[in-house]
Amino acid sequence: MQVLQKLQEKCCSNRSYPAMYSSIVGGIILDPAMMVIPMDDHMVHRGHGVFDTAMIMDGWLYELDAHLDRFLRSAANARIIHPPVLSNNSSSSSSSSNSIREKDKEKEKLRSILVQMTAASGCRKGSIRYWLSSGPGDFLLSSSGCSPSPAFYAVVIASDYEQCRDEGVKAVTTAVPMKPPLFATTKNVNYLPNVLSIMDAEDRGAFASVWVDEQGFVAEGPMVNVAFVTPQRELVLPVFDNILAGCTAKRMLALATNNNIILSVPGGVSNRKITADEARGCVEMAFVGSGLPVLPVVEWDGQPVGDGKVGPVMRALSDLLWEDMKSGPDRIPVPYYI
């Protein structure tokens, strides 16, 4: 009882997390003091887990299906299969059609849980974040001793985030090593390189850092993709071969392709390799990510990007994505009942 009282005293001042789902308890938790994960969960002490996120905008979940698709791909890469909410489903069928149906059921059930959790939270603006771990069981390296099925956790994060379009930020190139392709393209909980690179940026007075690979090509930021506008008015995002394919970045590419005339990018829209040397000669630059959705970069490694001011293309792209978040087709309504 004293432990619970201490936890409630510590958590009562923070109402940023109005709801959590845990497959360990099999339901939605509204008391922040009870939003816990077992210490022997392999995601905690071995990093064997994946996660993803989706934004809440005006009571709608934005691009949840796209994020869930990536979530399940990441889980497969991490060899974490069959979420616990579907543990009774048969996994013995080897036909591709049955496999596809099972994945559709997984996605549908996870979506339902996340929508119900968001509804229970009453939160109408913020984000949800959700994890699939190999589960609790022991403190060994192998996950073979974990419980019969993985563990699924999710949380609602209330945040009155705003569109980032008018004031640019600074970026720096980081010396923190990049993740190998398998780990970079799988959205997993091993974020130490990301943490160190963002700390590196903050130490140098920048918003975030940029990774450049060994061949001299621009990769990504620690939590964002990077976009450029060349002097030839081509919008370029680095190819996703060895970096995370951002859902917001992919959506931006689609919107930009359909609006390239409006955006004044007659050079077209490309998802290709771009060297750091070419990128430094670009007239506009931005970070692209779920909560931004487009954040212009006006200085990189102490040098101005273009004229050192927020450019019209990135400002217009920010408007396109923000409007898509508010009224676009890839939204799921949340039936609030509290």
Residues belonging to the active site: 187
Phi first, then psi, for residue 295 (nearest 5°) are -115, 110
Nearest Cα neighbor of 293 from 206, 128, 125, 165 is: 165
SS (H, E, C) 140-208: CCCHHHCCCCCEEEEEEEECCCCCCCCCCEEEEECCCCCCCHHHHCCCECCCHHHHHHHHHHHHCCCCE
DSSP-derived secondary structure letter, 89: S
For residue 103 the two structure tokens come to 């994945």
Q: How far is CA 298 from CA 207, 228, 283, in A?
A: 11, 11, 9
Which one-letter amino acid corresponds to residue 112? S
Q: Which helix (H) or strand (E) holds 282?
A: none
The alpha carbons of the chain give a radius of gyration, in whole angstroms, of 21
Distances (CA, A) of 58 to 162, 248, 327: 12, 18, 10
